[in-house]
Amino acid sequence: MSNSLRDQLLKAGLATQEQARKAAHEERRRRKNKRRKGASAEGEAPSETEQARRLAQEAAAAQRERDRALNAEQRAAQERKALKARIRDLLEKHSQKTGHGDVRFNFTHDSRIKHIYVDAKQQAQLAKGKLAIAYYGRRYHVLSLEAADKLAALDPEIFISRVETSGTGDDAYADHPIPDDLMW
- Burial (CB < 10 A; 0-12, 13-18, 19+), residue 169, is exposed
Tell me the residue type at 124.
Answer: A
Range in 33-42, 52-61, 99-108, 122-131 with the lowest mean pLDDT: 33-42
Distance CA 91, CA 134 (A): 9
Distance CA 20, CA 12 (A): 13
Number of Cβ within 10 Å of residue 129's Cβ equals: 13
Question: For the segment 69-119, what is each residue's pLDDT rounded down to a tens digit?
Answer: 999 999 999 999 999 999 999 988 988 887 777 888 888 888 899 888 998
Residue 181's pLDDT band, with cuts at 50, 70 and 90, is confident
Residues 76/80/85/91 CA torsion (nearest 10 deg):
150
Distance CA 135, CA 142 (A): 9
What sign does the dihedral 87-93-94-97 (CA atoms) show?
A: positive
Answer whether 0.85 is exceeded by the pTM: no
Give the HSE-up count for residue 128: Cα atoms under 13 Å, Cβ half-sphere: 8
Residue 36's pLDDT band, with cuts at 50, 70 and 90, is confident
Task: Encode 91-112 in three state secondary structure.
Answer: HHHHCECCCCCCEEEEEEECCE
Query: What is the pLDDT averaged over residues 157-162?
Result: 84
Distance CA 86, CA 74 (A): 18
